[in-house]
Amino acid sequence: MMLTDRTAVVTGAANGLGREFAAALAAAGARVAGFDIAGQAETGARAGERFTPYTVDVADPAAVARALTLVAAELGGPHVVVNNAGVYPPIPFEQTSLEDLRRILRVNVEGPFVVTQAALPYLRRAGWGRVVNIASGAVFVGPPDLVAYTASKAALIGFTRSLATLLGPENITVNTIAPGLTRTETAARSTGADGGFERVAAMQRVPRVEEPADLVSTLLYVCDPASGFLTGQTLNVDGGAAFL
């Protein structure tokens, strides 16, 4: 149980990748706090008693601060932050309003910024930390219908690198995982619709549809106490799509 006695915050834990990550971290021994605006009952059923849900908008600094105070009191820590909450509405570039752009940046960039900044004093107090940002292979592939989203996820990679420099001396690593198109309900409703999953899978070196479980070993690798020398990196877990 490599994460016994450690607490992980997983944002966007109600669905998709976040649910998978919460269950995997709980199975690795961590106490897991799920931060989501949606109900997390299914995640609780899957992750078991080590999972505690908190209703939090990740881009609301007051709500995040309140939730972290509760996490610290109820679960200890936190020591691990997985910035996974994100939105990826496919919108043609010409029709993307400034409001659309701001809505995407709010969750995908402000969210990780707010949560990480608020969690940092706790990580520092513990003298050990792991920050994991979930970006996207879109940054490398450049899908034409996801211009605003791709820009938001590219920002997360810069965020990762600068924070890694800041926190390297403090025993806190900061890395990014960039998934390819992965079968979640939201992906099926947007980019994966109309045979999108199979079309993307056919372009990968590993020509099958990526599943949330395909990302778990990389998440655990990054969070592993033995991975303290791995920081500032972007790990592309996309079946080899990004280097086509």
Ligand X SMILES: NC(=O)c1ccc[n+]([C@@H]2O[C@H](COP(=O)([O-])OP(=O)(O)OC[C@H]3O[C@@H](n4cnc5c(N)ncnc54)[C@H](O)[C@@H]3O)[C@@H](O)[C@H]2O)c1
Please list the residues that pair with 82 across neighbouring strands. 10, 132
Interface region with ligand X, contact rule CB under 6 A, candidates 33-41, 97-105, 118-126, 139-147: 33-41
84 binds ligand X (CB under 6 A): yes
Q: Nearer to ligand X by C-beta: 7 or 43?
A: 43
120 versus 141: smaller Cβ distance to ligand X: 141
CA neighbor of 141 nearest in space, from 240, 72, 222, 66? 240
Binding flag, residue 112, ligand X (CB under 6 A):
no
Per CB under 6 A, does 15 bind ligand X? yes
Nearest distance from C-beta of residue 151 to ligand X, angstroms: 12
Closer Cβ to ligand X, 12 or 129, answer by number: 12
Residue 16 sits in the site that holds ligand X (CB under 6 A): yes
By CB under 6 A, the residues from 140 to 199 that bind ligand X are: 179, 181-182, 184-187
Tokens read off for 215: 């990302």
- Interface residue with ligand X, options 59, 109, 157, 201 (CB under 6 A): 59
Selecting among 54, 88, 149, 221, the annotated active-site residue is: 149
Is 122 in the active site?
Answer: no
Phi, psi of 144 (to 5 degrees): -70, -20
Options 34-42, 91-99, 216-224, 226-234: segment touching ligand X (CB under 6 A): 34-42
**Residue 57 in the binding site for ligand X (CB under 6 A):** yes
Q: Which residues of 177-202 are buried (b: 16+ CB within 10 A; e: fewer)?
A: bbbbbbbbebbeebbbeeebbeebbe
DSSP string across 207-225: -S-B-GGGGHHHHHHHHSG
SS3 171: coil
For ligand X, which is the closer residue by CB, 85 or 120? 85
Q: Can you say how many angstroms the Cα of residue 144 is from the centroid of all Cα atoms in its chain? A: 23
| Residue 80 engages ligand X in binding (rule: CB under 6 A) | no
Alpha-helix residue ranges (DSSP H) falling in the chain:
16-27, 41-47, 61-74, 98-105, 111-126, 138-141, 147-167, 185-189, 196-202, 216-223
Q: Compute how many other C-beta atoms are within 10 angstroms of the C-beta atom of residue 218.
A: 17
Tell the smallest beta-carbon distance from residue 4 to ligand X (Å): 26
Q: How far apart are CA 82 and CA 96, in angstroms?
A: 28
DSSP structural state of residue 131: E
> Is 12 a binder of ligand X (CB under 6 A)?
yes
Q: Indicate whether 107 belongs to the interface with ligand X (CB under 6 A).
A: yes
Looking at the Cβ atoms of 126 and 151, the one nearer to ligand X is 151
Residues within the interface to ligand X (CB under 6 A): 11-12, 14-18, 35-38, 56-59, 84-88, 107, 111, 134, 136, 179, 181-182, 184-187
Give catalytic residue positions. 149
